[in-house]
A and B are shown apart, each in its own frame.
Chain A
Amino acid sequence: MNHTYDAGDRLEAQIGTSVRQATYITGRDGMAVVKLDNGYNLGIPYDSCRFLERPGQSVARKPIVTQRDELPVLSIVSTGGTIASRIDYRTGAVTSQFDAADILRAIPGLSSIGRFRTKQLYTILSENMTPAIWQELARAVHEEIVSGARGVIVTHGTDTMAYSAAALSFMLDTPVPVIFVGSQRSADRPSSDNAINALCAAKTAVSELGEVAVVMHTTTSDDSCSIHRATRVRKMHTSKRDAFTSIGVPPIGTVKYPTLDVTLAAHARKRRETEPMVLPDLEPGCGLLSFVPGMDPAVLDAFSGYRGLVIAGTGLGHVSTAWIPALRTLAKDGCMLAMTSQCLNGRVCDRVYDTGRDLISAGVIEAENMLPETALVKMMWVLGNEDDPDKAAGMMKEDLKGEIEGRSVHGL
């Protein structure tokens, strides 16, 4: 028995009484997966395969991509989310494309928007992101800005894109657009949202915007993308194209498709309002805990030694009164406590009910209308950059990068 086939090897495959020529693809659950010449894959026992030959490598011919000198320089920093991929129909393998030329080949419309350079920082799944990578990403983006990029596009898996984008908002002062983009449907399919998101992101990156934003589909239709403020955006659906939503604020702009007309809202920060600066220090010892009814206060022991803890409380920002002593202890030990709401929409107010007043007296900061995840990354950044606890607490309640809306506007 030969289990040492390589992908692409030509085999003779016995299926029942039928014998066919096939190409070896891979092993799956103890069976050999082969591709018949009609394109179908199927799995057969290894002892039903007979080796025929190992064809030589064929080199795919790639059309040459030319970039137009007169267009503004845009930088694509990739972390793992794919905005472009290529399929090898011989083996069925799908490979992500990170090289500028490959991306432009996959999404030809990009070449009329800008002149691209790419930096492949990581190729990881977004759930494997860490604060340390956010820091590296912030430094890399800063470098691109100071070396003259008219805008920076960050490709990112969608699961934790909002965390990374919010983290960059705090670490980075940017005079140019820093646009996070990804795709909800894989880039290999003709229906993928990758190309439209990428084109809209690129157009936003050359626009008059001057802040960190997420650009993704507005609705299920391919007719526009929304530009979301990084500190107010949240992934609100597991799979739909329009999963990303601005919470409690309108999007800071839209990009129509296919015209690619960018409209920025009045509250969007504009290009060149600030000088580029990076303050990448973060305090990683921070946590986010969602309270549920009956949750044992002993859970809080797990956070002892943490420098900060964001709580996603119920309603206006509550936890069980049984938690108050344990929270008091955490606070006394130097752990910053901030209260957000599981409601996501609306402002925390701990001055209405007794429990809330007890929380405030225990040292809990009301995190206003900040999203829990945004409050977490903000806390990491605040504690990484400010040693004085009172000043740090003040910063938590102050709007730094659009994460806190002073007014709760009617209709949102």
Chain B
Amino acid sequence: MDYKTVGLKAGIEIHQQLDSRTKLFCRCPTSLREFEEHTDEYFRFLRATESEMGEIDEAAREEMKNERRFCYYTYDTTCLVEDDEEPPQPLNPEALTISLTIAKMLGMSPVGQIHTMRKLVIDGSNTSGFQRTALVALDGAIPVDVLPGGGGIETICLEEEAAQRVDDHTFSLDRLGIPLVEITTSPCMKTPEEVQEVAGYLGMVLRSTGKVKRGLGTIRQDINISISGGARVEIKGVQELDLIAEVVRREVRRQENLLSIRDELIRRGAGVREEPVDVTHVFSATSSGILKKADRILALVLPFFGGLVGREIQPGRRLGSELSDYAKKCGLGGIFHTDELPGYGVTPEEVSELRTATGASDRDCVIIVAGPEKKVHCAVLQVIKRARLAFEGIPEETRRMLEGGSTSYMRPLPGAARMYPETDVEPVYSRGIWGAIQVPELITKRIGRLKDLGLDPGVAEHIGYSEQYPLFEKALNQGVPPALAARTLTSTVKELRREGVAVDHISDDELIGALAAVGDGRAAKEAVPEILRLIAGGTPLADALEQCAGRVSVQDLGDIVRAVVRERQQFVIERGMASLGPLMGVVMAEVRGSVDGKVVSDCLKDEIRRILQET
């Protein structure tokens, strides 16, 4: 697909949790908990003012009202601030410094006097009904080697993370208040690959600080997409970097298909018949479980929509799915439409009776909405609303990513953010912090440097991105050979952990001490796992070194090698120097890894040579 012709414009909003010691506006730790660990729960209502509810018709609004009762889980790691029972504490200076560091890395201008705002969020994910957020810097750049032609970063905001949803109306407070940076780019990306590239770049910049959280859910990308003749669509919460390009590709496809459906509808002179017909009687003896259970079944005729409602617009998604998404907002499981019927337990006879009852022709599509009385009426209005939008093309929407990269409707695009000042938090100043910030080395640059040190590219990449990097660098500064440090940190420690060794009991200094001993020949590198095992078990570093180094002295090694070679004299004579390999294994097993392989091999070579000369 030629994305230039399509006129693709995309921007990214990245949300990244910061790894600060405490939360943004209280002194609780930023640790996540298991839901079962919650200590208490309580209930709250959030009251919407007029326009926060604008997404749904009057009838729907009435119904939604009673459902805005939320339950919150508390923990021994949450406090009254998360409960919205105590005013916030001053903005966390550690989090502010991290966010300004990121801003400096992206070449942004800091805001002099930073004001915390309240951004209204009434979906229950914030106990207060708003999210605290502060704009800390503006106008940075995406380098040209990342995005051809370069690009812009519009803003970076420091905000509090929302509570984690347990189920529909229940939230867990452990996550609420963890500091988060929100980085917003301009809509400067023109291909799906560019979007993925920029997202990867920003992720790398964030990780380069060494001060961001890692793991699933700690970074989320929202993607804004539009094509020529389309509308802006925001896709929320893409967590997997590798899927970003695919999400963009699929969204472009969806928008193109919706535009062509629009053209087709107009060509056909299609319409929306806004009076639903009660067809409950048509399905009085149906074998469809959903229809049988329903108190009320209403049918809505979409003249000349036949075939278009069932047309695929994205893998696994049809125009019908979009109509269904809107209906689901009223609490129904979904809808049926004649493009997919007969099926789902609905017989051909019932379909034809349905068409008769509604006066629909074969070229029309009939939508069936079934369920409790109130919800059905609400859902019909929602279907009408979405069907009408089909004539405009692409509705401006916030969408949710589905598995695989297709998306479903969440809510209309938010209007201008409804914000007002957080009067409980004093403004803070960037001036004292900004100048002192040391811009960390970018991971990409770091990896290049490691390759220059002679590390294997794969290892360099691994250790460069690793959380262990600061320790690695410390080891290098103390004279540990890079390859040894990298291997120990990226694989040895991991293997020991898998074995069940308590590697967490090994301090950084002990680890570096062990590696340094190898560096200056006091220990064999083969002995590293055994030394670490001993330290993890509580043996002091010096003793561990002595136990491992002392086991086989050079003298002992000589004896062992002589014995091994002599026992296999015939083999050595037959194979000559080629016997070195097999004999290495035998000797290494004898010395149990406590002597450097190079030393063993030198000693072994000497002994083999001597035997060969003797004979």
A-side residues, CB < 8 A to B, are: 15-18, 20, 28-29, 31, 33, 36-45, 87, 89, 92-94, 185, 188-192, 195-196, 219-223, 238-241, 258
Contact = CB atoms under 8 A, between A and B. Distances in A.
A174 to B, nearest CB: 31
Interface centre among A191, A222, A238 (most CB of B within 10 A): A191
Given A39-B119, A87-B420, A89-B420, A185 B111 contact: no
Interface centre among A44, A219, A222, A238 (most CB of B within 10 A): A222
A17 B120 contact: no
B139 A42 contact: no
Interface centre among A37, A38, A40, A89 (most CB of B within 10 A): A40
Interface centre among A28, A39, A93 (most CB of B within 10 A): A39
Contacts of B44: 191, 221-222
A29 B427 contact: yes
B127 A221 contact: no
Interface string B404-434: 0000000000001111110100010000000
Given A16-B138, A28-B427, A221-B44, A42 B420 contact: no
Interface string B121-132: 010000111100
A40 B427 CA distance: 13
Nearest to A36: B135
A38 B118 contact: no
A39 B130 contact: no
- Across the A-B interface, the 5 shortest Cβ-Cβ residue pairs: A16-B109, A43-B113, A190-B129, A39-B419, A92-B420
Contact of A190 (B46, B87, B139, B420): B46
A42 B129 contact: no
Given A31-B112, A43-B114, 4 more contacts: A18-B139, A41-B419, A43-B113, A191-B84
A73 B170 CA distance: 39
Contacts of B120: 190
A35 B108 CA distance: 19
B465 interface: no
Given A191-B46, A219-B42, A239-B86, A40 B66 contact: no
B110 interface: yes
A327 to B, nearest CB: 40
A39 B111 contact: no
Contacts of B111: 15, 42-44
B75 interface: no
A238 B45 CA distance: 22
Interface in B115-168: 115, 117-120, 122, 127-130, 133-135, 137-139, 155, 157
B285 to A, nearest CB: 40
A28 B127 CA distance: 29
Interface of B: 42-49, 52, 66, 69, 80, 83-87, 108-115, 117-120, 122, 127-130, 133-135, 137-139, 155, 157, 416-421, 423, 427
B277 to A, nearest CB: 34
Given A17-B139, A94-B420, A240-B85, A190 B122 contact: yes
Interface centre among B45, B119, B120, B155 (most CB of A within 10 A): B45
B85 A239 contact: yes
A65 to B, nearest CB: 14
Contacts of A38: 135, 155, 416-417
Interface centre among B42, B111, B128 (most CB of A within 10 A): B111
A54 to B, nearest CB: 21
Contacts of A20: 138
A191 B128 contact: yes
A185 B84 contact: yes
A189 B118 contact: yes
A222 B86 CA distance: 16
A189 B419 CA distance: 11
A222 B71 CA distance: 10
B112 A40 contact: no
Contacts of B108: 16
Contacts of B423: 94
B127 A191 contact: yes
B85 A241 contact: yes
B130 A189 contact: yes
B496 to A, nearest CB: 47
A189 B120 CA distance: 8
B109 A190 contact: no
Nearest to B110: A16
A220 B138 contact: no
B45 to A, nearest CB: 5
Given A38-B155, A220-B42, A221-B42, A89 B112 contact: no
Contacts of A238: 86
Contacts of A17: 109, 139
A185 B108 CA distance: 37
A220 B135 contact: no
A44 B47 contact: no
B418 A39 contact: yes
Given A18-B138, A92-B419, A219-B42, A190 B130 contact: yes
B130 to A, nearest CB: 6
A402 B139 CA distance: 65
Contacts of A89: 416, 418-420
A37 B415 CA distance: 12
Contacts of B137: 16
A38 B43 CA distance: 32
B128 A29 contact: no
A33 B115 contact: yes
Contacts of B80: 239-240
Given A39-B419, A190-B46, A44 B112 contact: yes
A241 B119 CA distance: 22
Contacts of B83: 220
Contacts of B155: 38, 40
Contacts of A221: 42-44
Contacts of A39: 117, 119, 416-419
A45 B48 contact: no
A15 B109 contact: yes
A43 B122 CA distance: 28
Contact of A42 (B49, B69, B135): B135
A195 B420 contact: no
A153 to B, nearest CB: 19
Contacts of A31: 112-113
A241 B114 CA distance: 30
A39 B44 CA distance: 27
Interface centre among B110, B115, B117 (most CB of A within 10 A): B115
A241 B44 CA distance: 11
Contacts of B114: 42-43
Contact of B421 (A29, A41, A219, A223): A41
Contacts of B420: 87, 89, 92-94, 188
Contacts of A258: 45, 66
Contacts of B110: 16
14 contacts: A15-B109, A16-B108, A16-B137, A39-B119, A42-B115, A42-B135, A92-B117, A92-B421, A191-B127, A191-B128, A221-B42, A222-B43, A239-B87, A240-B80
A309 B220 CA distance: 63
Contacts of A15: 109, 111-112, 138-139
Nearest to A32: B113
B117 A41 contact: yes
Nearest to B115: A41
Contact of A43 (B42, B129, B427): B427
A240 B139 CA distance: 41
B234 to A, nearest CB: 15
Contacts of A190: 46-49, 52, 120, 122, 128-130
A238 B86 CA distance: 8
A356 B248 CA distance: 82
